[in-house]
Chains A and B, each alone.
Chain A
Amino acid sequence: KAGVTQTPRYLIKTRGQQVTLSCSPISGHRSVSWYQQTPGQGLQFLFEYFSETQRNKGNFPGRFSGRQFSNSRSEMNVSTLELGDSALYLCASSLTTSGRAFSYEQYFGPGTRLTVT
């Protein structure tokens, strides 16, 4: 099976602009989570989508949003970019079902390196 893919891999944007990142999960995986990785803050959870619904959200401002499509592909959007949004954005997919009490293994994509100037 193909792994998790993310596009684009690298992106340079200017402050105030907006950006959309895309994630295609492993075939058959229905859950997609997004994480921000920075040297200072480490890996931080942004949000999780399952069956086109946001199931969990981290502590990020409303400028960060996401969605999931019926084929499980997910996008995240950051509006009004700030310098501090420069980071590696990782998505992870998981084979999961609704209503289970425990988590499934998550597999990460290669990430999108966003630089805000």
Chain B
Amino acid sequence: GENVEQHPSTLSVQEGDSAVIKCTYSDSASNYFPWYKQELGKRPQLIIDIRSNVGEKKDQRIAVTLNKTAKHFSLHITETQPEDSAVYFCAATPPSYGGATNKLIFGTGTLLAVQP
């Protein structure tokens, strides 16, 4: 079945620097790749997503890139701020040959710490 690997597990950056989190998926037929931010004690929050027919998507300071050939996708956060500190999860939707699915396979998470 689908497997998603996420690196690094922890990331510490200075405020204003950029942060990059990388994920690799195993099933080349996966077609949807969301990113979630989870603050301590809170629910995972969808921050950006990308579909397999798009190579890059940007929303203000956040961008996601997808390399289907290498089966990699990455989250880029520019001009980091202390409030960006949280655990970030990548996920992939495995193919469902019987129709649509919302099943998500999650990476193991990256704890991002932005130092003021």
Q: Could you tell me which A residues sit within 8 Å of B by CB distance?
A: 31, 33, 35, 42-45, 48, 50, 55-56, 58, 90, 92, 94, 96-111
A51 to B104, CA, bound (A): 19
**A56 contact set on B, CB distance < 8 A:** 96, 101-103
Chain B residue, CB-CB nearest to A31: B102
Beta-carbon contact of B44 and A45 below 8 Å: no
Could you tell me the dominant secondary structure of chain A's interface residues?
A: strand
Beta-carbon contact of A55 and B46 below 8 Å: no
Beta-carbon contact of B34 and A105 below 8 Å: yes
Beta-carbon contact of B100 and A103 below 8 Å: yes
Binary CB contact string for chain B from 84 to 115 against chain A (1 if under 8 A, 0 otherwise): 00000101010010011111111111000000
A58 to B101, CA, bound (A): 12
Of the candidates A45, A96, A107, the one whose C-beta lies within 8 Å of that of B104 is A45
Some 15 contacts from A to B, beta carbons below 8 A apart, are A33-B104, A48-B102, A50-B102, A56-B96, A56-B103, A96-B100, A100-B100, A102-B100, A103-B31, A104-B102, A105-B46, A106-B46, A108-B36, A108-B44, A108-B45
**B108 contact set on A, CB distance < 8 A:** 42
Which residues of B54-104 have CB atoms within 8 Å of chain A's CB atoms? 89, 91, 93, 96, 99-104
